């Protein structure tokens, strides 16, 4: 192989970022923070911030985080839904940043549903 040019490097870079974004495409776990007016007023932003920090610390590429609108269960906000591929989605209620960290580490990473915070099987 001859001398590498800037263009070659750019190509390699593009390829790698394509591969990573492909990896981003296959989500095995989907975490949804419900962010309607009710969720936001009850503290959904802090829950999301904790989740972002946890995501920054994991090597897992197959977890997707989303914000969505109100579930219709405003009294139990902040609500978070964890959907693991092939399993029933779990809705967690009255979340805060600590509960979010626990759910992330135990349920998302280790597959152990945290029944104490679960509202229902959705």
Partner 1 sequence: MKELALHILDVAENGITAGADRIWITVEEDRAKNRMTITIEDNGRGVPEDVMKRITDPFYTTRTTRRVGLGLSLLENTARRCGGSMTIDSEPGQGTRVTATFVHDHIDRPPLGDMAGTLMTLIYSNPEGDLAYRCQSGDGEIVIDTKQVREQFNNRPITDPEVFRHLMEQMEQIKTSI
Binding site for partner 1 (CB under 8 A): 10, 13-14, 17, 20-21, 24, 33, 35-38, 40-41, 45-46, 48-49, 52, 56, 65-67, 69-72, 74
Give the residue with the Cβ less far from partner 1, 70 or 113: 70
Taking the complex as a whole, how short is the minimal distance between the CB of residue 116 and partner 1, in angstroms? 25
* Those residues with Cβ within 8 angstroms of residue 53's Cβ, 6 or more apart along the chain or in another chain: none
Taking the complex as a whole, how short is the minimal distance between the CB of residue 118 and partner 1, in angstroms? 20
Give the residue with the Cβ less far from partner 1, 65 or 84: 65
CB 54, CB 20: distance < 8 Å = no
Cα dist from 78 to 19, 22, 42, 95, whole Å: 34, 31, 6, 5
Please report how many Cα atoms fall inside a 13 Å half-sphere around the Cα of residue 92, on the Cβ side.
26
Taking the complex as a whole, how short is the minimal distance between the CB of residue 3 and partner 1, in angstroms? 22
Taking the complex as a whole, how short is the minimal distance between the CB of residue 112 and partner 1, in angstroms? 25
Give the residue with the Cβ less far from partner 1, 111 or 120: 120
Give the residue with the Cβ less far from partner 1, 77 or 107: 77
Measure the CA–CA gap between 39 and 37, rounded to whole angstroms. 6
């Amino acid at each position: 192989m001859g001398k590498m040019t800037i263009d070659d490097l750019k190509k390699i870079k593009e390829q790698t970022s394509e591969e990573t974004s492909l990896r981003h495409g296959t989500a095995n776990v989907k975490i949804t923070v419900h962010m309607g007016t009710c969720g936001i007023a009850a503290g959904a932003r802090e829950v999301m911030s904790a989740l972002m920090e946890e995501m920054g610390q994991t090597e897992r590429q197959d977890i997707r985080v989303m914000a969505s609108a109100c579930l219709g269960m405003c009294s139990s906000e902040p609500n978070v839904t964890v959907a693991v591929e092939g399993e029933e989605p779990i809705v967690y209620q009255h979340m805060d940043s600590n509960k979010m960290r626990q759910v992330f580490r135990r349920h998302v990473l280790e597959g152990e549903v945290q029944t104490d915070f679960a509202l229902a099987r959705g």
